[in-house]
Amino acid sequence: MVEVLGSGGMVAIPTETVYGLAVDALDASAVASVFAAKGRPATDPLIVHLGSGERIDTVVREWSDVAHQLADAFWPGPLTIVAPRHPSVLPALSAGRDTIAVRVPAHPVAEAVLAAFDGPLAAPSANRFGRVSPTEADHVMAELGGRIHMVLDAGPTPLGVESTVIDVTGARPMVLRPGGVTVEMLTPVVGEVDVPERLVVDTDEAAASPGQSIAHYSPSTPVVLVDAGPDVIEALTTAVQARGVRCVAMDLGGDAESTARRLYRDLRAVDSGDADIALAPVMDPRGLGRAVNDRLFRAARGRVVLDATPDTVKRLADIAAGDGR
Ligand code: TXA
Ligand code: MG
């Protein structure tokens, strides 16, 4: 495995969040091959993974007090810190930006790989660009099998959603992607953080976090969020089915932790069934619910409905038929 990474190969590794596609972060052609394998635009920067925070000085130019506090509190763990980039870092890694995203993962296999490799690894989620992130080795094979050199299978990843991305270069820390470390966990450590209410932009233009494009985490089957109670979801499902459309309601019941853990598997399952359209509920936004809602909103490409009126039913039938949005 170390030989594969050392010679510029791509190894999919489990982390506590999702499977990542790891390459030597110091090898320009290996980094280029990750973008190619994923079909990821060169404008979308990668996260550098370190075995510990000890050598942070090799990747960042400046490590503020806030960054220190966050790393002390949450590393190893699902927090990615965006800080000023060290001049020696490959520009391609951060897509030419003057910041770099870093994290120290907390998963025994990821930790063992980083310790054995003894250097920084760039690792985006091991899925094709815009698709659902992999939480099982089989998902990696389905997305990238044949394009990468090795997959380390450690079973399902424990958290199920990606790390929280937090930018510490501004006056106040700003959450660019909600994830495993919740806002409720962040504020006792660093005080108020900025959390844009809807972390999605409906455009290709560069956003604060370039990965925040709306077409992320999407199954092929159209998904629509229903921001209303279970009775509305049931009424909608029945009414849409009555129009001859195969409509399924995703069951995301349980606490936010268990919903997060199986979210991506459930989204993949939507595609392996024969549904024309899937409806998903909006979760309680506290804790991991924020990250779940964010991923569902993207899976739905921003489509949200609020009621079960005939107009809404028609709109869903149109979406299922491939026209209308
Ligand atoms: O949990 C995770 O973070 C997983 C595991 C494998 O570590 N990795 C992951 O990587 O989700 P990726 O590449 O799929 O997502 C990285 C996110 C993207 O939204 C990207 O735009 C953002 O981090 N990002 C990376 N560098 C950035 C930077 N310099 N400034 C702002 N956002 C950045
Ligand atoms: Mg990703």
pLDDT value of residue 273: 86
pLDDT value of residue 198: 60
> What residues does ligand 1 touch, defined as CB less than 6 Å away?
15, 17-18, 20, 44-47, 78, 80, 82, 94, 97, 99-101, 105, 123-125, 162-163, 165, 176-177, 209-211
124 alpha carbon – ligand 2 mean position (Å): 6
Q: Is the pLDDT of residue 42 over 70?
A: yes
Per-residue model confidence as pLDDT tens digits over 267-277: 999 988 889 99
Q: What average pLDDT does range 120-127 have in this prediction? A: 97
* Atom 18 (ligand 1) nearest CA: 211
Q: What average pLDDT does range 79-83 have in this prediction? A: 98
pLDDT value of residue 114: 98
Q: Which two tokens stand for residue 76?
A: 């190893």
Do residues 299 and 217 lie in contact, with contact meaning Cβ atoms separated by under 8 Å? Answer: yes
170 three-state secondary structure = coil
Q: Is the pLDDT of residue 79 over 60?
A: yes
Distance CA(281)–CA(158), nearest Å, equals 23
Q: What average pLDDT does range 16-27 have in this prediction? A: 98
Do residues 311 and 317 lie in contact, with contact meaning Cβ atoms separated by under 8 Å? Answer: no
Helix (H) or strand (E) holding 80: strand 79-84
Query: CA angle, 78 as apex, 73 and 82 as ends, to 5°?
Result: 80
Query: CA angle, 138 as apex, 135 and 141 as ends, to 5°?
Result: 110
pLDDT value of residue 31: 97
Q: Pick the ligand that lies closest to the CA of residue 157.
A: 1
78 three-state secondary structure = coil
Do residues 176 and 170 lie in contact, with contact meaning Cβ atoms separated by under 8 Å? Answer: no
Distance CA(120)–CA(89), nearest Å, equals 10
Packing angle between helix 256-272 and helix 289-299, nearest 10 degrees? 20
Do residues 214 and 302 lie in contact, with contact meaning Cβ atoms separated by under 8 Å? Answer: yes
3-class secondary structure per residue, 270-301: HHHCCCCEEEEECCCCCCCHHHHHHHHHHHCC
Q: What average pLDDT does range 296-302 have in this prediction? A: 92
pLDDT value of residue 214: 63
Q: Is the pLDDT of residue 174 over 50?
A: yes
pLDDT value of residue 288: 96
Q: What average pLDDT does range 248-259 have in this prediction? A: 93
Per-residue model confidence as pLDDT tens digits over 45-74: 999 999 999 999 999 999 999 999 999 999
Packing angle between helix 183-190 and helix 65-74, nearest 10 degrees? 130
Percentages helix, strand, coil for the chain (3-state, rounded to 5) are 35, 15, 45
Do residues 120 and 23 lie in contact, with contact meaning Cβ atoms separated by under 8 Å? Answer: no
CA dihedral 308, 313, 315, 319 (to 10 degrees): 120
Q: Is the pLDDT of residue 205 over 50?
A: no
Q: Is the pLDDT of residue 216 over 90?
A: no
